[in-house]
Amino acid sequence: MAARFGLFSQDQPAQRRLCRPGAAPSPPAGLALSDPPRPPFLGTSSVGGVDDGRLLHRHAPLFRPPFPSRLQGGPPFASALRNARSDWVAVGFIGRTSLVSVRSEVSDITFEDIQAAAQRLKGAAHRTPIATSRSLNRQAGAALFCKCENLQRVGAFKFRGAFNMINQLSEAQRQRGVVAFSSGNHAQAVALVAKLLALPAVIVMPHDSPAVKLKATRGYGAEVVLYDRHRDNREVIAKKLSDERGLTLVPPFDHPQIIAGQGTVALELLTDLPDLDVLVAPIGGGGLISGCSIAAHAMLPALRIVGVEPESANDTSLSLEKGLIVSTPLSPSIADGLLTPAPGKLTFPIMQRHVESVALVTDDEIAEAVRFLLLRMKLLVEPSGAAAVAALMAGKVPNVQGKKIGVVLSGGNVDPTPLARILTSGAGNFKDQIR
């Protein structure tokens, strides 16, 4: 596909229609779409977006969170943590779930950082299309607009953050190279960016990563170091490599430049569709939804933001409920890209301030979404990338009837054999193959 895309709607190949960027398809028949109430006007700020190689500018209301946090009404310390610039959080244990003691600080990542990232990404990243489906709209009871990051370079949104960070390294850092740890998509992103910028890359990956992701990472020229995710600590391995070789660590999500790069997903989406009611995105470590939240609430303060996690890896949901970072044990799921054991020290407070709620989906629901996206919309989306659609198809995102919903399809890298099993047998057999 070309590097610049417009919006397209597709239920069957013959029904595809292309529109120029900035033009949205008509809402589906039978849906009455209403605009959300606008908060009081607080002034304006310049909002920009990349459109066909040009930076567009307009004015948007200055951000003020328009909705109460999900923590409101909870324990006093949770309310204090939500509103504080920084706080110490408690330590404890609930069953096998550990409550991690960290100093949780709200990052100074700004909308201007995301605009600057969009400028750096011009000519490097694709402006991905937005897909719609009448069948999907009928099932969800809303108008869904799917941002197709499965069609991004390396097949995932991760290219955005990796390029934004590595592009800002000094010449001395570039000569020494970079190191990253990832289950696949971030690994491929760092490997490709390193190849594009002609610098060495070492990637720490679990030995059970999908074969397609391992092959692609090596294919971009990176050195791959394998580890056992049930026995080894990937961050310790990466830190040791960084210290021994002088490599710059490129984290998968918990870094301001990574978060700013991922925020360009929402910048593009809301430039094309400035009247969305809800944004739904998957959550692993929180880098994608954090960057998107900052951009979205700068451009559209009344927008509701909902995250999605697997039921078996609900660390962010638990963390938001308890008001502190919760680490969950590693659990099997077909959504291998969403198995980060805990949200980040930077991403967690951002999610506290911006994310309304987190929907939890089963592997069967994710599998059904993967099948629908491929068979009905002709989009190959990996299980992690299909989680947001799964939540909407299963009716797990509240108060969306008749609304306009932005949905992030975060990636499309899945092995052929597990994909065949999910298409013919459902999630159970698929899980055996992907884990």
Q: Is 158 a catalytic residue?
A: yes
C-alpha to C-alpha distance for 354 and 242, rounded to whole angstroms: 33
Q: Which two tokens stand for residue 73?
A: 């009404």
Longest dimension (CA), the chain: 62
Neighbouring C-beta atoms of residue 172, cutoff 10 Å: 9
Beta carbons of 116 and 55 less than 8 angstroms apart: no
**Active-site residue, from 183, 209, 317, 357:** 183
CB atoms within 10 A of CB 58: 12
Query: Which residues share a beta bridge with 127?
Result: 4
Q: Cα-Cα-Cα-Cα dihedral of 123, 200, 283, 139, to 10°?
A: 50
Two tokens, residue 53 = 């190689």
* Burial class of residue 8, CB neighbours in 10 A (0-12, 13-18, 19+): middle
Q: What is the DSSP letter of 158?
A: H
Q: Catalytic residue among 9, 69, 133, 158, which?
A: 158
> Are the beta carbons of 325 and 99 closer than 8 angstroms?
yes
Torsion of Cα atoms, 272 then 278 then 284 then 286, to 10°? 80
Respond yes or no: is residue 345 known to be catalytic.
no
Q: What positions carry a catalytic annotation?
A: 158, 183
